[in-house]
Amino acid sequence: MNARKLTPVDRALEQLDQAVRTVFGPPPPPSRPNPAGDIPEHTLSDRERRHAAGLMRVNHAGEVMAQGLYQGQALTARLETVREAMAQAAVEEFDHLAWCEQRLEELRDTPSRLGALWYTGAFVLGAGAGLAGDRWSLGFVSETEAQVINHLEEHLGWLPPGDQRSRAIIEQMKVDEAHHGAEARAAGGLPLPAPARGLMTLMSKVMTRTAYWI
């Protein structure tokens, strides 16, 4: 028997469920093992621990935003293939969300208290990108992933040298984000205009500097 085709109401309810899981948790169990695996925990000073937690809180907030972006784009995508690609990327981003949350627990810290704000803002941006057209939406994914990779590379340089568990998670996230960006470009994503890229960079800076502390 063929699966029933989702109606707009079905999709709206699905989006609501995803939003609640993303913002209020806990996220679904990851589909892949945690990259930190059996890497032993290194003894960190209180300052190092707080710093590592701040970086992982930023990464967690970024994954909350990624869910909002992908869900917003999936909702407004015109082509079913694009909608399915966004949904698959969101599943992989849920892995990142779960890994970051697990690492924050290990560091005895918590996610950003502004999760609802990050998700809502990203959802609106994603839905807007989808309304602009599938190729622009895919271009938005490509640019988003490029900026995320830049942040992850910075975090790898800022982590305490002994925090190999956080490092392993961020390294795998970087690989996955590069894959998502490449897929978006291969699917026909258009390069975004410079003003759009600049606005995205500004918003990203606001999020990263806020989520580190709150």
Give the chain's domains with CATH numbers: 42-211 (1.20.1260.10)
Query: What is the pLDDT, as a whole number, of residue 156?
Result: 96
Identify which of 125, 150, 140 has the alpha carbon closest to the alpha carbon of residue 180: 140
pLDDT reported for residue 172: 96
pTM of the model: 0.86
Report which residue type is found at 93: E
Percent of the chain, pLDDT > 70?
A: 85
Question: What pLDDT does 19 receive?
Answer: 63
Q: What is the pLDDT of residue 111?
A: 95
C-alpha dihedral sign at 95, 98, 104, 105:
negative
What pLDDT does 192 receive? Answer: 86
DSSP readout, 133-189?
-HHHHHHHHHHHHHHHHHHHHHHHHHS-TT-HHHHHHHHHHHHHHHHHHHHHHHTTP
Query: How much is the pLDDT for 1?
Result: 42
| Three-state DSSP state, 58 | helix
Which residues of the chain are modeled with pLDDT < 50?
1-3
> What's the confidence (pLDDT) of residue 34?
95
The whole-number pLDDT of residue 109 equals 97
